[in-house]
Structure formats: C-alpha cells, structure tokens
Amino acid sequence: MKFNSIFACFVFLFFFCWGCASSPDIVTSDKKNSTGYSNAQIREVTIDQPNLLSGDFFRQRTQTKVIADVDSSAVSKVDNDIPSNQEMLEKKVNDLQSEVALLKADSPKPVPILPEKKLQSNNQPPEKSLLKLKTGLLIDRGRVRADTVTKISRAAHKFVESGEIVLVGNDEIYEILAQNNALESKDLYRTSGILTVYPGIRMLVLVEKFTLPDVFPGEASAVVSMVDAGLFYRYRPVKFEMPVKTDADASRFVESIVSATFTRAIESSQTTQWFCRVFSSEEDLIYINAGEKTGLEKEMLLKVSSPGKQIKSPGGTPAGWIPGKLKGVLRVERFFGKDFAACSIVEGEKPTVYDYLIQ
C-alpha cells in the first residue's frame, strides 16, 4: 500500500513537471546560423501557409565551412586586388560598347522581302476606299396600298442618310423593268440579271406584302424577302407582325422593318468583297455601274476578274466567293449620270458584262 502511494506521487510529480515545461519557440524572428531562417519563417511556411512548402525553401541549407584562422596579409591582398579587377572589368565593358556602336554604324540597311507600302502623312498605310452597297427596293403594287408604298419609300430614303447604301427606289426599278418587258412575267431570275447589270443593284429588297390597319388599335403585318442579285440567290421571306395603337406606331413599324431588312442586306452582302460590273463600252471607254455616290474616286484602279467560284454553306446559302483569273485593270476617268463612271483600260483585255470589277 505504501509502495503504491509512493508510485502515484512520483507519477503526479512527473506529469506536473512535464506540463510546466516551456512551449516550443515559433515566434522568434532571429535567424539561426545553422539554417539561415528564423523560427517564425519556418512556422509561416510549414503551419500558416503549407501550400508554400517546397524544395525551394530548403535549397540554401548547405552550410559554409567556417575558417577560424585567417591570414591577415591575405585579406589585405584581396582588398587591394578588388579595385584593380574592377578597373579591368570597366575597361572591357567600354571596349565592347565601342565595338557594338561601330557595328551598328557599319551594318548595311536590310533589304525588305516584300515591297514597301507607301505611307500617308500620318505614317499609316493607305486603306481601301469604303464603297457603299447599291441596294434596290421593289414593292409589289398589287398587294401593297399606294399610301403604304409611300411610307415604305419614305422610310427607305431615311435609312440612306446612314451613309451605308446607295438606294435605287421602287419607281426607278419599275421603269427599268418596263423598258425590258420584265414586269408581266415576274421572272425573278431574269429580273435579277437585268438589275445587277444596270443600274448595278447588288442586293434587292422585295416587299411582297405590307398591311397597316385603317382603325386603331389594330394589327400590322409584312412579308419581306431579299435577293442577292450579284450571286443570283434568294433568301427566304420573313414575316413581321405587331399590334399598333396609333398611326405613329404604324410609322415606327414601317421604319423598323425597312431598317432591319436593309441592315440584313448589308450583312448578307459581306459574304463577298465589293464588286461592280460593266454595262456598256466603246472603243476607248468602259462604262461601269458604280460611281461617285458608291464611293469611287477619279484615278482609282479596278481589277477585272473572271466570274470565279461561289461557295455555299451546307444549308445552301452563300458562304463566300473566290475571284477568278485576273484579266486586266481599269482606271476611273470620270463620273456621269446618277451613279456611273467611265473607265479606261490600263492593261489586259476588255471586260464583259459577266466579269467582276473589284478593288
């Protein structure tokens, strides 16, 4: 019994002394000579931010051997050699800089692989002129009332103010088609072929139906389609419907339809680059269906390309156009009429109505 009491007392004293021992130092910022890092730094990496723990942290733990006995004369010799070595390095650097400067002065001017482009006054390369899209508006007079035709034409001329298209209006198209006996048959393929040569329409907007209510509130509706006359492709008709409460709402409906359709025409035309065509010629002059309104300038050069190849998407819509063989070059000499130009042949053969004139 006495032995058990003595043993229990001993164990109690042991654990008491263990608990009173000092805790490990993890806050001291003094760096140890043996590791080169302080206890606080080691705690930060191993405990506070373990994601920083890597071999990089311990890479410099190899200790440098400490030499107790140092020859004082050797130290003074090293101190004397440092300035002389520094002078030698500075001299070498100066010599190298002189050689580099001499090489730069004597180096020949590099010969460009490609011919240099002429720069404008602002040191920018010349850009191609922004040429507008010649767009036609053809309204079915048999299915659209005269007052609605007027509203549509007015909205179309308002869109022209944006500066993105050259408009060939409804009346002008009817007159051209009547002269070519193309009104009765309503053959859209033949109509596109006529209009793309003269007056040079690229995108033709067809208003097949347009109804505005006589009494408000009412329902407004329209069916509009679009033809790429240059590529002989007709896009599917689009139907628009909207309830309108006032005459002002009806006018806004007309403007929104015209704006949306013309914008779509501009976007669809971008499947190919801009082009125009020849519609007539004489011995020395070629007459083309684009002029000053389109954005052509005098002395501008146009390349003559054979018809080329049209690429279609899997759905059948035009995806792009690859120009054909280049046949020659034309120069714009002067403008005439509503939007036409007379050109001279700079080189190559005389173009036909089937050729494409491109920038």
pLDDT in tens, 124-147: 444 455 899 999 999 999 999 999
Residue where a domain stops, chosen among 227, 248, 269: 269
Contact 217, 242 (CB under 8 A): no
Helix (H, G, I), strand (E, B) or coil at 301: strand
In a domain, 351, yes or no: yes
Residue where a domain stops, chosen among 241, 269, 297: 269
Spatial distance between the Cα atoms of 327 and 312, rounded to a whole number of angstroms: 25
Same-domain status, 291 and 334: yes
Same-domain status, 166 and 248: yes
In a domain, 328, yes or no: yes
Q: What's the mean pLDDT in 225-234?
A: 93
User: How far is Cα of residue 337 from the mean position of the Cα atoms in its chain?
Assistant: 36
**Tally of domains in the chain:** 2
Give the domain CATH number at 265: 3.40.50
In a domain, 242, yes or no: yes
Give the domain CATH number at 348: 2.40.10.410
The domain of 237 spans: 133-269
Same-domain status, 233 and 351: no
Q: Enter the pTM of the model.
A: 0.65
Does position 232 have pLDDT exceeding 60, yes or no? yes
16-61 pLDDT, tens per residue?
555 555 556 666 667 665 555 677 666 655 554 444 444 333 334 4
In a domain, 224, yes or no: yes
Q: Write out the DSSP string of 214-259.
A: SSSSEEEEEEEEEEETTTTEEEEEEEEEEEESSHHHHHHHHHHHHH
Which position has the token pair 């006995």?
69
Same-domain status, 236 and 318: no
Same-domain status, 145 and 212: yes
Residue where a domain stops, chosen among 223, 245, 269: 269
